A and B are shown apart, each in its own frame.
Chain A
């Protein structure tokens, strides 16, 4: 990754965290708000594969944790696993398919929220399992599914192109 790529990634992460903290936190429906930081490892996993998804999950998770009262590192841990998992699962899929980012964001976000609550409870925050988990899960997943395409384009701009050798693609090459 060149300094230029790194700068772009930092800009995207800072942009996401700024939007999250300034706008999204106040966009509450039924007392819960979306979480667009979860989108970063998911779309990074689609764009760059498991390693870059995990790296993005770790980095953006640490940044997100700076603003959260939940255990520090929890978002990074879950983000790393989700980013890696999305990268692995989508390796065998056509990454250029338009349906993939929203579906991956929907499923990945749901998995993230569930894992986050369970791990948080294990790490001494039992109230994390006593919140309205279904409401949070639906809010975060649906919002991220809607925002998946724009987020994918931003991350695609930031991350260097990953090798697509052996990766299914709908584009016909000769």
Chain B
């Protein structure tokens, strides 16, 4: 392989074969075939849909962790966190033989379950990974999937003075391949 893009694609495909946080869940690999057309909603199209068992609200992961969530099953669109939209390099898609078959959407980090550490728990320090936990209501993805990495953690005397800046762990800059988890909130 002479092209660096091809090398990266191969690395991402290989990484999808072993996603440690997925466990026994069934996955459907998908190629990112295009990015969205709006500055206001960072989206990507992927190459799998209902024919491959993809349903609405299924989580989508990449090698680093959670990337997004399926929002439409006939046209794959993935909403990415706004902070990463600027880093995504547009690339002419390598059209898969299957074409666009479904739609996917990403939930923002704001919807991830990032709890304040309690007594005896590890504090949120820089470079620590935040994993998705089971919230009391809606389940967005299976527990244990890395969502973000703590970039800045500011402590304060009160809860309102504390702040944490998170960065998604998924490498969205060079996203070529993702995997859809065949998982629903009731799973």
Contacts and interface: CB of A to CB of B under 8 A. Distances in A.
Label chain B's interface by main secondary structure: loop
Contact of A128 (B40, B77, B86, B110): B40
A116 B40 contact: yes
Interface string A47-73: 000000000000000000001111000
Interface stretch (B10-18, B31-39, B56-64, B115-123): B31-39
Interface residues on A, range: 20 to 34
B47 interface: no
Contact of B85 (A31, A67, A68, A120): A31
B88 A125 contact: no
Interface string B4-42: 000000000000000000000000000000001111111
Nearest to A67: B37
A125 B90 contact: no
Interface in A1-43: 21, 25-26, 28, 30-33, 35
Interface string A125-151: 111101110001000000000000000
B94 interface: no
B68 to A, nearest CB: 12
Contacts of B96: none
A94 B38 CA distance: 34
B144 interface: no
Interface of A: 21, 25-26, 28, 30-33, 35, 67-70, 116-117, 120, 125-128, 130-132, 136
Given A28-B90, A67-B37, 20 more contacts: A31-B86, A31-B87, A31-B88, A33-B39, A68-B38, A68-B41, A69-B36, A69-B37, A69-B38, A69-B77, A69-B79, A70-B41, A125-B40, A126-B108, A126-B110, A127-B82, A130-B82, A131-B39, A132-B82, A132-B85
